[in-house]
Amino acid sequence: MSSALPVLEAENVSKKFHIGSQEKFTFFKSFRYKFTGSVPKKEFWALKDISFSVNKGEMIAVIGPNGAGKTTLLKNLAGIMAPTSGKVKARDDIFTIFELGIGFNVYFNGIENLYLYGALHGMTRRDIHRNLPRIIEFSGLGDFMYAKLSEYSSGMRQRLAFATIIQTAKGIIMVDEALSVGDQAFQCQCLAAFEDLLRRGNTILFVTHGIGEARRLCSRALYLNQGCIRHFGEVNETEEIYRKDWGASMPDECPPVPAQS
Partner 1 sequence: MEQSTSNNRGLGRYWNMVWELAVTDFKMRDQGTFLGFFWTLLHPLLYFIVFYNLFKKWMGHHISQFPLYLIIGIVQWTFFATATSSAIAAIKRGGEFVKSINFPKSVLVYSSVLTILFSYLIEMAILLIFWVFIGESLSLKVFLLIPILLLQLLLIMGLAFLLATISVFFLDIERIWGIFTSLGLFLTPIFYTMELLSPEKRWIILINPMTHIIQSSRAIMLDDMIPQMRGLSYVLGLSLVFLLSGRYVFSKYEGLFVEKI
Stretch that binds partner 1, among 61-69, 115-123, 230-238, 242-250 (CB under 8 A): 115-123
Total residues contacting partner 1 (rule CB under 8 A)?
41
Residue 35 contacts partner 1 per CB under 8 A: no
Shortest distance, position 240 Cβ to partner 1, whole Å? 32
Residue 78 contacts partner 1 per CB under 8 A: yes
Distance CA 25, CA 39 (A): 10
Burial label for 200, CB within 10 Å (0-12, 13-18, 19+), is: exposed
Beta carbon nearer to partner 1, 11 or 245: 11
Choice from 32, 34, 89, 215 touching partner 1 (CB under 8 A): 89
Shortest distance, position 181 Cβ to partner 1, whole Å? 15
Residues found in the chain: 261
Residue 30 contacts partner 1 per CB under 8 A: yes
Choice from 123, 178, 204, 217 touching partner 1 (CB under 8 A): 123
Distance CA 96, CA 203 (A): 12
Q: Which of residues 10-29 bind partner 1 (CB under 8 A)?
A: 17, 24-28
Residue 236 contacts partner 1 per CB under 8 A: no
Distance CA 73, CA 207 (A): 10
Distance CA 129, CA 124 (A): 9
Distances (CA, A) of 211 to 195, 207, 215, 246: 15, 9, 6, 15
Shortest distance, position 93 Cβ to partner 1, whole Å? 6
Burial track 114-142 (b if 16+ CB lie within 10 A, e otherwise): bbebbeebebeeebbeebbeebbebbebe
Distance CA 72, CA 46 (A): 7
Residues at the interface with partner 1 (CB under 8 A): 17, 24-28, 30, 75, 77-85, 87-90, 92-94, 96, 98-99, 102-103, 105, 107-108, 115-116, 119-125
